[in-house]
Amino acid sequence: MEPFTTLTGIAAPLLRSHIDTDLIIPKQFLTTLVRSGLGRHLFHEWRYDAEGRERPDFVLNQAPYRQASILLAGPNFGCGSSREHAPWALKDFGIRALLAPSFADIFFTNCFANGLLPVQLPMEILETLASMEGPLTVDLPAQQVRGGGHTFPFEIEPACKAVLLEGLDEIRRTEANLADIAAYEARRRVEAPWLEIRSH
């Protein structure tokens, strides 16, 4: 997984409340287990009409937001079903940071597992960021969002921060603890031998 340190990019304003995972990536696109290619279906019902033509009034169909790497959203972003395809689609489109007042719990966890940074900021700050011209910078080491001469700090759990800074997915995080796992298993075999599964 690509580490996340500091990101400077275009921020697309989508300050709607309760954007659920079916709006982020509709159910008809969930048949794949491949993470690439889902970006073209991101917000499919908002981006395209019934004939598959782009809706010109949707923010991600407008310049410069077609190249957005930061998304500004409203409260409870990522609610609904716990589909991991939602962060896959966002990342495949090019989004690496999500700024919202709150996120649904499972979606929030899935972001860290897939290299996306979800940042919680008050709505009034998001509205200020949306009104700014030019790029924003999301600085994970410093825990700051910067733009238009303003700096806004944000909080993040140290373990979640480390996962993104080091680019560790769940497998790599497990591999980093293999020595501790082996030591635990050896100790358990001595202290609780009845837990061992024996083949006959």
Report which of residues 34 and 135 the model is more confident about.
135
pLDDT of residue 61: 97
Burial class of residue 95 (count of CB atoms within 10 Å of its CB; 0-12, 13-18, 19+): buried
Q: Give the C-alpha separation, 51 to 117, whole Å.
A: 34
pLDDT of residue 186: 82
pLDDT of residue 171: 57
Paired tokens of 8: 């400077």
Q: For residue 136, give the H/E element and its range.
A: strand 136-139
Written as one string, the DSSP assignment of 10-68 is -EEEE--S--BHHHHS-GGG-S----TTGGGGTTHHHHB-TTS-B-TTSGGGSTTGGG-
Written as one string, the DSSP assignment of 22-35 is HHHS-GGG-S----
Q: How confident is the model at residue 41 (pLDDT cuts 50, 70, 90)?
A: very high
Q: Give the C-alpha separation, 153 to 142, whole Å.
A: 8
Q: What is the pTM of this model?
A: 0.84
Amino acid at 117: L
Q: 73 with 99: CB under 8 angstroms?
A: yes
Average pLDDT for residues 123-149, to the nearest whole number?
A: 96
Q: What is the mean pLDDT of the chain?
A: 92
Query: How confident is the model over 76-110, as pLDDT tens digits?
Result: 999 998 889 999 999 999 999 999 999 999 999 99
Residues 6+ apart with CB under 8 A from 83: 21, 25, 30
The percent of residues in the chain predicted with pLDDT above 70, rounded, is 94
* Domain over 6-168 is classified CATH 3.20.19.10: yes
Alpha helices in the chain (DSSP H): 21-24, 44-47, 85-93, 105-113, 123-131, 158-166, 170-175, 178-191
Query: How confident is the model over 146-187, as pLDDT tens digits?
Result: 999 999 999 999 999 999 999 876 656 666 667 878 888 888
pLDDT of residue 94: 97
Paired tokens of 42: 């991101």
On the CB side of 25, how many CA atoms lie within 13 Å of its CA?
24
